[in-house]
Chain A
Amino acid sequence: MDKSAENYIIDDQDAGLFRVNRRAFTDPECLHEERRRVFDKCWIYVGHESEVPHASDYRSRNVAGRPMILARGDDSVVRVLLNTCTHRGSLVCRQKSGNARTFQCPYHAWTYNSRGQLVGVPGEDSYSDAFKRDEMGLASPPQVDNYRGFIFACFDPAAQSLYDYLAGAREYLDLVADQSELGMKIVAGQQSYSARANWKLLVENSYDGYHGLPTHQRYFSFLNDIGIDFKNSNLTAPARQQAVDLGNGHAVVEYQSAWGRPIAHWVAPFGEHRKEHFEQLRRRFDERFGPERARRICETSRNLGIFPNLVINDIMAITVRTFYPVSPDYMEVNAWALAPADESAEDSALRLDNFLTFLGPGGFATPDDVEMLESCQRGFANREVGWSDISRGMKREHPSITDELQMRAFWRRWNQLMTEPQLRRARKAA
């Protein structure tokens, strides 16, 4: 087996061994390459259209390390604007969110409308004829597109369309988006946190079925305490679960879960008084989609990783989570709750309750995940142990959700992007 320290991965399908060079988690040069080869080439999640529901609504946020504005223009078109004045660079939007007809740069008062067009330049007569105001609007990423409300941007003008890029992940986004007839919405409140760990550790963790029982035993003991018997949930029964490589580095695990789901999967701790209501919701899904798809939407949980840095976990609630590396050993994480736009106040409160039992930086699970990622990162200081093993289930015909197929799907795509020769040549030529 070639263990050349030059390689990022060892993918020995005959032997059934898959290894990741820990340099991928620690090397600043690797992060430098990731920014160009991964984050500047792939479609990156920016936000959800429900976050700017009305004309002239905006939200400013960092996406792929850049300050951006998710803005719905006065023409109701949702745009992604790069938050830098085309004059001398200042942020033109310095509020987190709001509703504004214009963005005025505070430095020299250049003014842009809600569509990003430059509409005001004080003392414009001092510029030559070569200065064209209509060329000086706020810039946008070369490609911006929306799939069922999820808005992505791509910095590679030659990249394939978002639709093609999402590949098999569309089916799973549909299972989430179909949960409401009026569309889904991001709930108020952003969980803004971090981990002292490499960002790819969070990719692996977000759909890792193997870690569930050991890392999260406190969560399962909580479920027991409130009357849910997780031992009967059959987490590993093959008929009820699957791990799928969705193409382009995306992957998912889908399984029957012990916990209740606020979308029409009732469990006793939700209360007898809600049982009939949940059955009604479920009947509506049966009508809309037929019993098989309705069962899948309502009863199965799914942890979906969209390459490179978007996670949508539709589990005891739905979290949308994105993250970006600041340094090889530190990432920033933003997470939100996604819910049916037409959900009743009572159902919404139940959903948020269910969310917080497990998810988020104060939940009964996520803090332990962060702890494990940080623990791995500290362990990587032992450079003598150069490789991590991601071989689990590799020779199995139908890998289970507690195997590591989903991670291998990520790493193969990542490795392909990181080692593609064209870019290296282009850089040398430059």
Chain B
Amino acid sequence: MSTTELPSRNEVEDLLYKEAALLDEWRLDEWLELLTEDAVYEVPPTDVPEGDSRNTLFIIADDAVRIRSRVKQLLGKAAWSENPRSRTRRMIANVRVVAAVGENILVTANFAVHRMRYESVDTYIGHYDYKLVRKGNDLKIRERRAILDNEALRPHGKISFIL
């Protein structure tokens, strides 16, 4: 049995809404501060949503090094797919604090992320699986997996921002 105390849904929602705001506002350096040093960010392929990135070709499977590099690239000028930047607007809902496993707190939430660019609107729909850990007074994100319900990235073409 885990001895980790589950946070309130309120506290978790505060974290996820803050994260959504930071990402929508492209405050990506501040977003990094919500993550642990060993954080992982993954988007599984649409045909194997329950896959393992060690043996399945994902869309995104960033370790901490690649997350930081991704942020650096997106804040630079040469990530052409995000220069000029997309507008994004995230709707986070159905937040559930599921369980504690060791020190990890498992959380799920639904998302609809709209991306507006060149007068097209593409909507990414799915749910997040989070692993959160308590660091002092704060909850930090150790793992975030964005699992798409979209059957293909069509007509989206890409995930060029942080989903």
Contacts and interface: CB of A to CB of B under 8 A. Distances in A.
B159 A226 contact: no
Interface in B5-60: 43-48, 51, 53-60
B81 A368 contact: yes
Interface residues of B, number: 40
A187 B57 CA distance: 7
A234 interface: no
B64 to A, nearest CB: 12
A238 interface: no
Size band of the A side of the interface?
Answer: 35 or more
B57 A193 contact: no
Interface stretch (B88-96, B105-113, B148-156): B148-156
Interface string B56-77: 1111110101100110110010
Contact of B157 (A355, A364, A374): A374
B76 A194 contact: no
Contact of A188 (B57, B76, B152, B155): B57
Contacts of A190: 45-47, 57
Is chain B's binding surface mostly helix, strand, loop or mixed? loop
B3 to A, nearest CB: 32
A217 B151 CA distance: 31
Nearest to A186: B57
B78 A370 contact: no
A366 B158 contact: yes
Contacts of B156: 193-194, 361
Given A189-B58, A330-B155, A371-B81, 14 more contacts: A187-B57, A190-B57, A192-B152, A193-B154, A193-B156, A218-B79, A348-B55, A352-B56, A353-B63, A361-B157, A361-B158, A367-B79, A367-B157, A367-B158
22 contacts: A188-B51, A189-B58, A192-B152, A192-B153, A193-B153, A193-B156, A193-B157, A194-B157, A218-B79, A221-B76, A225-B72, A330-B155, A336-B57, A349-B55, A352-B58, A361-B159, A362-B159, A364-B73, A371-B158, A371-B160, A374-B118, A378-B118
Complex A-B, nearest 9 residue pairs according to Cβ-Cβ distance, in ascending order: A189-B57, A192-B152, A362-B60, A189-B45, A367-B81, A367-B158, A193-B153, A371-B81, A349-B54
